[in-house]
Amino acid sequence: MDWIYYLIVGLVAVLFLLVGYFTRQLLANQQIRLTQNEAKKLLESAQAKYEQMVLDAKEEAVKLRAAAEAESRERRYELQRLERRSSQREERLERKLEALERRERSLMAREKEIETIKAEIEELKGKQMQRLEAISGMSSDEAKQLLLNAVEDEIKEDASRKVREWEVRIKDEIDAKARDILATTIQRCATDVVSETTVSVVALPNDDMKGRLIGREGRNIRAMEQATGVDLIIDDTPESVTISSFDPIRREVARVALTNLILDGRIHPARIEEVVEKAKSEVEATIKVEGEQATRKAGVQGLHPELMKLLGRLKYRTSYGQNVLTHSLEVAHIAGMLAAEIGANVMLAKRAALLHDIGKAVDHEVEGPHALIGANLVKQWDKSAEVSQAISEHHGESTTTSTLGFILATADQISGSRLGARRESLDQYIKRIEALENVASSFPGVEKAFAIQAGREVRIIVKPDQVDDLAAMRLARDIVKKIEESLEYPGQIKVTVMREVRAVDYAK
Q: How far is Cα 97 from Cα 105, in angstroms, rounded to an integer?
A: 12
Query: Edge-to-edge strand order for the sheet containing 457-462?
Result: 446-452, 457-462, 494-498
Average pLDDT (150-177) is: 73
User: What pLDDT shows up at residue 326?
Assistant: 83
pLDDT band at residue 363 using 50, 70 and 90 as cut-offs: low
Answer whether residue 127 is part of any domain: no
Range in 55-64, 202-211, 296-305, 413-422 with the lowest mean pLDDT: 413-422
Q: Which amino acid is at 160?
A: S
Answer whether residue 261 is part of any domain: yes
Q: b/e map of 274-304 (b: 16 or more CB within 10 Å)? A: bbbeebbeebeeebbebbbbbbeebebeebe
The full 3-state SS of 347-416, as one line of letters, equals HHHHHHHHCCCHHHHCCCCCCCCHHHHHHHHHHHHCCCHHHHHHHHHCCCCCCCCCHHHHHHHHHHHHHH
Q: How far is Cα 447 from Cα 464, in angstroms, rounded to an integer?
A: 9
User: What pLDDT shows up at residue 192?
Assistant: 45
Task: Choose the final residue of a domain: 31, 48, 70.
Answer: 70
pLDDT band at residue 51 using 50, 70 and 90 as cut-offs: confident
Strands (E) located in 18-90: none
Q: Is the pTM of this model over 0.85?
A: no
Q: How far is Cα 79 from Cα 278, in angstroms, rounded to an integer?
A: 121
Average pLDDT (254-272) is: 82
Answer whether residue 318 is part of any domain: yes
406 and 434 share one domain: no
Under DSSP, the state recorded for 340 is H
pLDDT band at residue 190 using 50, 70 and 90 as cut-offs: very low
| pLDDT at residue 194 is higher than 50 | no
| pLDDT at residue 201 is higher than 80 | no
> Can you state the percent helix, strand and coil of the chain, rounding each to 5?
70, 5, 20
Q: Which residue has the higher pLDDT, 284 or 143?
A: 284
Answer whether residue 195 is part of any domain: no
Q: Which residue has the higher pLDDT, 366 or 276?
A: 276
* Listed ranges 71-85, 173-187, 285-299; the one with the highest mean pLDDT: 71-85
Helix orientation angle between 469-486 and 426-441, rounded to the nearest 10 degrees: 140
pLDDT band at residue 185 using 50, 70 and 90 as cut-offs: low
SS3 497: strand
| pLDDT at residue 474 is higher than 80 | yes
290 and 433 share one domain: no
Q: What are phi and psi of 425, to 5 degrees?
A: -70, 160
401 and 483 share one domain: no
| Domain boundaries, position 484 | 426-498
SS3 121: helix
350 and 268 share one domain: yes
CA distances from 272 to 208, 209, 227, 257, 438 (A): 18, 15, 8, 8, 55
Q: Which residue has the higher pLDDT, 464 or 131?
A: 464
- The residues facing 242 across adjacent strands are 201, 233
Average pLDDT (135-142) is: 67
Q: Which amino acid is at 400?
A: T
H or E stretch covering 185? helix 140-188
442 and 402 share one domain: no
The CATH number assigned to the domain holding 450 equals 3.30.300.20
433 and 359 share one domain: no
User: What pLDDT shows up at residue 176?
Assistant: 65
